[in-house]
Amino acid sequence: MKDEIMGITKRIIPCLDVKDGTTVKGTCFVSLRQAGDPVELGKAYSQAGADELVYLDITASHEGRKTFTDVVRRVAAEINIPFTVGGGINELDDVSRLLDAGADKVSVNSAALRRPQLITEIANKYGSQVCVCAIDARLEDVQQWYCYVKGGRERTEHQLFDWAREVQGRGAGEILFTSMNHDGTKQGFANDALAVLAEQLTIPIIASGGAGTMAHFRDAFTVGHADAALAASVFHFGEIPIPQLKQFLRNEGINVRL
């Protein structure tokens, strides 16, 4: 298991889902409500001690348009921590455009499932550290996790663990796993699935979907063996301040950057 090395620093990552230039948050990928300006939120999170940020243009793939380059440029001018951008990335030109605008990493999901070679191309040209593969999966009948595309709108026949192993083999530097069953429910992360991913893979796993309490973050690290934990609404609406979360985790024996 990759996190048996003691002392590995765990990361806390706010996620900003952006639609029409505004940060939004829903439950199980629907029922969106507004959460504020993505640039101002990002700046506040950077100042509060977030380790990284993820910006997802959540309707880019569904609407068939390019990711919000102007927002990326504005974010890069305001924050001093790494950030990942995803949504509507289909080719190397999209990656170049976003990296040039200031992003540190790109996240691919729908396009990678349609054409897995895209992962290899990104890793070969820019390095594995630039390529985050996002996997949105839902636990369905007979205890199988199926991967979804287009912002959770369309099911594929790819299964989570098989696809995650392929993603790693193709050169992705990290996996951002979102449980659609848990997303927005505030009932905790999908720790059983996270633990399987951690056991099978050597690249970092970012847990996403289900954060509601500080203990949920602890469990994602101690039970799910995640390398990072990502959340949205609990941060956007002030329910869990990042400095207090990090102090809680440190008190629980988890190595985080204070």
Active-site choice (17, 57, 219, 227): 17
Which tokens go with 189? 């992360």
Location of structure tokens 């706010």 = 14
Nearest to 214 by CA among 181, 188, 182: 188
- Say whether 219 sits in a helix, a strand or coil: helix
Bridge partners (DSSP) listed for residue 34: 24
Alpha carbon 5 to its chain centroid, in Å, reads 23
Tokens found for residue 231:
């959340």
Centre a 10 Å sphere on the Cβ of residue 154 and count the other Cβ atoms it contains.
Answer: 13
17 is catalytic: yes
User: Is residue 183 annotated as a catalytic residue, yes or no?
Assistant: no
Distance CA 64, CA 58 (A): 11
Beta bridge partners of 128: none
Query: In the chain, where do the E strands start and end?
Result: 11-19, 22-27, 30-36, 53-57, 83-86, 105-108, 131-140, 144-149, 154-159, 174-179, 205-208, 228-231
Tell me if 72 sits within 8 A of 55, measured CB to CB: yes
Burial class (CB in 10 A: 0-12, 13-18, 19+), 6: exposed
Q: Does residue 256 sit in helix, strand or coil?
A: strand
The residue annotated as part of the active site, out of 94, 136, 219, 227, is: 136
Catalytic residues: 17, 136
